[in-house]
Amino acid sequence: MHQALQNKEFKMFLQPKFNLKNDELVGAEALVRWQKPDGTYRYPNEFIPLFESNGFCIKLDTFMIEQACEQLRKWMDDGLKPVPISVNQSKILFLDKNYPDNLEKILDKYNIPSSLITLEILEGIASDDLELLKRQIDILHSKGFKVSMDDFGKGYSSLNMLYQLRIDELKLDRGFLKKVPEDDEKRRYIILRQVISLAKKLGIKTVAEGIETAEDREAVIALSCDYGQGYLYGKPID
Ligand code: C2E
Ligand code: MG
Ligand code: MG
């Protein structure tokens, strides 16, 4: 993995995120791909869990921040309007006490405003020390970064977390769009509608992940979700 990082085998792909109301591009998510020397790709699910347990994610996620900054710099230098890039950040990196300062240093290096970087964390991060997490989010906010809670609804999402953490965005797990029996579907919509309404009242933007069909899109629009991401709009591209 160290060799691969040195050899630039890790590539940043970007998946667009759209405003569901007017189809305007509002951002992109950086997703890592490991391109082997023979040209084939390895996907994050095959290596991120390992890198999380052996600590290499600290290096890889930092590298992805750099890649995002490099891309933003390029857009700006080419006279293109940049859109914010969301970068997935693992728990050990996000909770490190030097993390906010280190982030700032990287952005300074590329002369990128922090408003163009959103940090995505998984809901599981909120399981331990909520106070520590809350403080870190506050520090990151004071530096101008936005924080997004990814895969909401996949694990044990707690309402406690929603009110205590000042997150900017909630990404609803694509499991919410999976086919289920009609009876469950009705109940699911009741829950989803309320979660989205709660988020709105708390000033949190909502993103529906995994929009694959026009039907999915209609469903999340009906729920007043703000943004959408998925194969219907665009796959991750290099
Ligand atoms: P995620 O952050 O929730 O990213 C969304 C995943 O859903 C991506 O998978 C994306 O390719 C996939 N996806 C997007 N639209 C659709 C759709 O319409 N249908 C379906 N079936 N899938 C869709 P990917 O790229 O394989 O990444 C998987 C997970 O790996 C990510 O989930 C994220 O948690 C993690 N990951 C990716 N890149 C990084 C990284 O640089 N650092 C860390 N720590 N984790 C990463
Ligand atoms: Mg994500
Ligand atoms: Mg997700």
Is pLDDT of 15 > 90? yes
Is pLDDT of 16 > 80? yes
| Nearest-ligand number for the alpha carbon of 31 | 1
| Nearest-ligand number for the alpha carbon of 154 | 3
Backbone angles phi, psi at 208, to 5 degrees: -95, 125
Q: What is the average per-residue pLDDT within 185-194?
A: 91
To the nearest whole percent, how much of the chain has pLDDT over 70?
Answer: 100
Give the pLDDT score at 179: 85
Hey, whose CA ends up nearest to atom 10 of ligand 1?
Answer: 236
What is the Å distance from ligand 3's center to 105 Cα?
27
Confidence of residue 157 (pLDDT cuts 50, 70, 90): confident
Hey, whose CA ends up nearest to atom 41 of ligand 1?
Answer: 32
User: Which of 15, 31, 47, 211 has most ligand 1 atoms within 8 Å of CB, for mutation?
Assistant: 31
Confidence of residue 177 (pLDDT cuts 50, 70, 90): confident
Q: What is the average per-residue pLDDT within 21-30?
A: 97
Give the pLDDT score at 19: 98
Hey, whose CA ends up nearest to atom 22 of ligand 1?
Answer: 210
Backbone angles phi, psi at 172, to 5 degrees: -80, 125
Q: What is the average per-residue pLDDT within 62-82?
A: 98
Give the pLDDT score at 160: 83
Write the CA distances from 46 to 34, 43, 49, 87, 213, integer angstroms: 10, 6, 7, 18, 26
Q: What is the average per-residue pLDDT within 159-164?
A: 86
Ligand 1 atom index nearest CA of 151: 3
Coil vs helix vs strand at 207: strand
CB within 6 Å of ligand 1 — which residues?
15, 31-32, 43-45, 48, 57, 61, 64, 88, 90, 120, 150-151, 174, 209-212, 229-231, 236
To the nearest whole percent, how much of the chain has pLDDT over 90?
Answer: 86
Residue 223 tokens read as 């729920």
CA distance 219 to 225: 9
Ligand 1 atom index nearest CA of 231: 18
Q: What is the average per-residue pLDDT within 32-58?
A: 97
Give the pLDDT score at 62: 98
CA angle 94, 36, 72 (to 5 degrees): 50
Instruction: Write down the mean pLDDT value for the chain.
Output: 95
Q: What is the average per-residue pLDDT within 48-70?
A: 98
Give the pLDDT score at 127: 77
What is the Å distance from ligand 1's center to 43 Cα?
9
pTM of the complete model = 0.97
Hey, whose CA ends up nearest to atom 37 of ligand 1?
Answer: 31
Confidence of residue 123 (pLDDT cuts 50, 70, 90): confident
CA distance 219 to 84: 26
Is pLDDT of 128 > 80? no
| Nearest-ligand number for the alpha carbon of 44 | 1
